[in-house]
Amino acid sequence: MNYNKTLVNMKVISLCAIFLLSLISCNQASKQIAENGKKPLTQFIDTSDMTNNFYDNIETYPLPVKELFIDGEIANPGKVDFTALPVHSVIVKETLLDSAGGNSFVGAYRYDGYSLFDILDKRILKKANSSEFRPIIDLYVEIENEKGEKVVFSWGEIYYPNNLHKILIATGVSRIVPSKTKELWPLPVESKIVAASDLVTERNITSPVRITVKSYPHSFTVQKGMSPMYSSRIDIFSSSRQVGQIETLPANLNYETFNTIFYGRGKGIHSTTPFNGILLKDLLLKNYPVNRENLKSGIICIAGKDGYRSAISYSELFNRNDQQEFMLIKTRVQEDGGLFRIFAAADFFSDRAIKSVSEIHLDIIK
């Protein structure tokens, strides 16, 4: 009997201890005031590491969101109603280019907010070039803040990736604090665009106020159903000026093999055969160097011999942190659909796998 009482007392003491820890944690959260006078958002803070979540150990602070308007090539422009949208979270190691051309680490954060996927979801597309090219993969969005800064995202990186909801308008931020150093990274104070797949986070501009949907502006001759289709070279352009040409692949570039389930949005499964080729960014880097302007507002268009084309943001191609790269594949000489093809490893669908690539363009959105 005494043994049972002891067990009961021990359980009561344990429950009380857990309850007190929770009270202390909540009390600390409610009393602590953030930098710049902002109060933490009400939430559970796991200061005692009672869960396996590394990203809920410190306060989340609100970020004021500006009114955001959407226009461009859509039938229903207007103000974004954030109240109707779900909240997503991403984790980011923010890093910017420095004056020496290297990278400067800013801090590690969890951002909560509204995804560009959801923000644009119910906007009815009205492509300016639909009479020439109906597919939506040449679309991109231009996002501008109240300072006049602009960044671009391709339609493909919003709606086609294997991992959705990675581009947010942030409404809250929490530091990801190292367990040993306890270093507190500078706390953002404004809402911002957060591109979670970017290595260098130059596109994370603050206080966005306008989103403009656009189709790639250059015209290409479209020949649907071209067969056989073949292009013996790729012409490389920058701001409409030819800067290079590709007829063969350099011997010093490494070949990679990507295993894939190749699945189209319209026709479904194509194959499960691996792709072997080189990373497209390695081939184009000499023509399209990494700099702040390109990272923020560079948009690339890859066009096939038949006029089929796709828009890709510069950062999406050259600035990934997930190693889900774009691959260039060389076929046999005179093979239908050759000589060069694209494989987009990050995409769920195969729609941006351009065949018989004949032109690649880089344009800077001003």
For 9-18, 108-117, 356-365, which range has the lowest pLDDT when averaged over its residues?
9-18
Average pLDDT for 8-30: 42
For residues 172 and 263, membership in a common domain is answered with no
Range of the domain at 341: 234-364
Sorted by sequence, the CB contacts under 8 Å of residue 82 that are 6+ apart come out as 65, 68, 114, 171
Question: How many structural domains does the chain have?
Answer: 2
Based on the domain organization, do 325 and 246 belong to the same domain?
A: yes
Does one domain contain both 193 and 248?
no
Q: Are residues 241 and 162 in the same domain?
A: no
What's the pLDDT at 29? 36
pLDDT of residue 46: 60
Query: Over the stretch 257-289, which tens digit does the pLDDT of each residue have?
Result: 999 998 988 888 998 999 999 999 999 999 999
Distance, CA of 212 to CA of 123 (rounded, Å): 11
Choose among 51, 52, 46: nearest CA to 22.
46
Helix (H) or strand (E) holding 61: strand 60-62
- Residues 211, 274 share a domain: no
Select the more confidently predicted residue: 46 or 277: 277
Burial (CB < 10 A; 0-12, 13-18, 19+), residue 243, is middle
How many other CB atoms are found less than 10 A from the CB of residue 77? Answer: 16
The gap from C-alpha 33 to its chain's centroid, in whole angstroms, comes to: 32
**Do residues 184 and 259 share a domain?**
no
User: Could you tell me the CATH number of the domain that includes residue 330?
Assistant: 3.90.420.10
161 shares its domain with 264:
no
Amino acid at 138: D
In a shared domain, residues 201 and 56: yes
48 pLDDT more than 70: no
**Are the beta carbons of 191 and 66 closer than 8 angstroms?**
yes
Peptide bond between residue 339 and the one before it cis (omega within 30 degrees of 0): yes
Going by pLDDT thresholds of 50, 70 and 90, the confidence category of residue 8 is very low
